[in-house]
Amino acid sequence: MWFIFALIATLGWGFADLFYKKGTDEDDRYSHLKIAVWVGFVMGVCAFALLPFAESGFSVRSLAVNAVKYAPASLCYIISMVIGYAGMRYLEISIISPVQNASGALSTVAMCVYFLLVGRITSVLDEYSAMDLIGTILIVAGVIALAIVEQRLAKAEAPLPKEERKYRFGALALLFPLLYCVFDTIGTAADGVILDEETGLGLGEIDVLVLYGLTFLLMGVLAWFFLLVKTKKPYNLFAKHERPKGIAACAEEFGQIFYVYAMAAKPLVAAPMIASYCIVSVILSRIFLKEKLKATQYACVVSVIIGIVLLGISEGLSEAGDA
């Protein structure tokens, strides 16, 4: 089922990116914090709903202990996501998403290094077929190539007037997705390690969802109070014009749930596959936001799609063999 979970997470986060962009006001300097409030609200509600089902219990003491265990991963995720929301003000989805999601490839490398150090690399790799490897390579190559293509397009636009550029602040704007990539790499690799049954921290999938949700809820509350102090009025996240942010937050949490279960099953393959949700973002931005794509971008999209298809075929053959 890991492949189905990873595919659903990929689609969920691809749609989340679309609505993040639709809900971003380029002229609102606090737009990223408002998105954080919405995401914190949705994740907090889901965390409290899942709390009774947490495998490690839901007493105040167990929550505190587990929150400390999961803090490195959750903090990296939150930092990366808020940076990503801020970058939405300056870059189009077709630019920001591929650069950000090179983290899927980097996190796979980081997890391989960890499993090698703890002596688990052989048993982990035994679970993967040659088709898994080929599919993963195609996905990673497609995502990284897309990021390189976007950087070259940014340089090509440098002579244009600022108002005609996709990159409103030139190379400086690329710092947002690059920083996102760094923090998301750490968070994703940490998830793969934490959820590993043999060397993990004893946290189940629901535990991770609860801890991440509660941490983001705290972030959302702090962001809301910050907005209150700065703007002198309470931020109404339920206002009609704020609906795209709410839809994005719901899609984010929907993808998060399936992401956790996919990572618990096959982290080395699931991480780069789910990171390819940038391809979904690029396609959706072309359809709904009318962002134009070049032939090189389409080639990267095709590479990733072929890789995902190969992973699906491999999973189907594996299940047929087990039956």
Range with top average pLDDT, 49-53, 99-103, 201-205, 309-313: 49-53
Residue 74 in tokens = 């959750």
Average pLDDT over residues 186-203: 76
- Contacts of residue 41, defined as CB under 8 A and 6 or more positions apart, other chains included, come to 217, 220, 237, 249
pLDDT grade for 257, boundaries at 50, 70 and 90: very high
Model confidence pLDDT, tens digit, residues 33-65: 999 999 999 999 999 999 888 876 667 777 777
Range with top average pLDDT, 137-141, 176-180, 218-222, 302-306: 218-222
Range with top average pLDDT, 66-70, 88-92, 233-237: 233-237
If one counts every other C-beta atom within 10 angstroms of the C-beta of residue 238, the result is 9
The residue ranking higher by pLDDT, 256 or 273, is: 256
The residue ranking higher by pLDDT, 175 or 263, is: 263
Average pLDDT over residues 80-109: 72
- Contacts of residue 263, defined as CB under 8 A and 6 or more positions apart, other chains included, come to 188, 191, 192, 195, 270, 271, 274
pLDDT > 70 in the chain, percent: 80
pLDDT at 317: 63
If one counts every other C-beta atom within 10 angstroms of the C-beta of residue 137, the result is 15
> Residue 164 pLDDT > 70, yes or no?
no
pLDDT grade for 167, boundaries at 50, 70 and 90: very low
Furthest-apart CA atoms within the chain: distance in Å: 63
pTM of the model: 0.80
pLDDT > 90 in the chain, percent: 26
Residue 119 in tokens = 């002596």
User: How far is the CA of 90 from the CAs of 15, 86, 161, 196, 275, in angstroms?
Assistant: 19, 8, 15, 37, 21
Average pLDDT over residues 67-84: 86
Range with top average pLDDT, 78-82, 88-92, 133-137, 171-175: 78-82
Q: How many residues does the chain have?
A: 323
pLDDT at 128: 73
The residue ranking higher by pLDDT, 38 or 176, is: 38
> Residue 225 pLDDT > 50, yes or no?
yes
pLDDT at 98: 63
> Residue 322 pLDDT > 70, yes or no?
no
Distance CA 285, CA 173 (A): 19
Structural domain boundaries of the chain?
A: 2-318
pLDDT grade for 71, boundaries at 50, 70 and 90: confident
The residue ranking higher by pLDDT, 237 or 283, is: 237
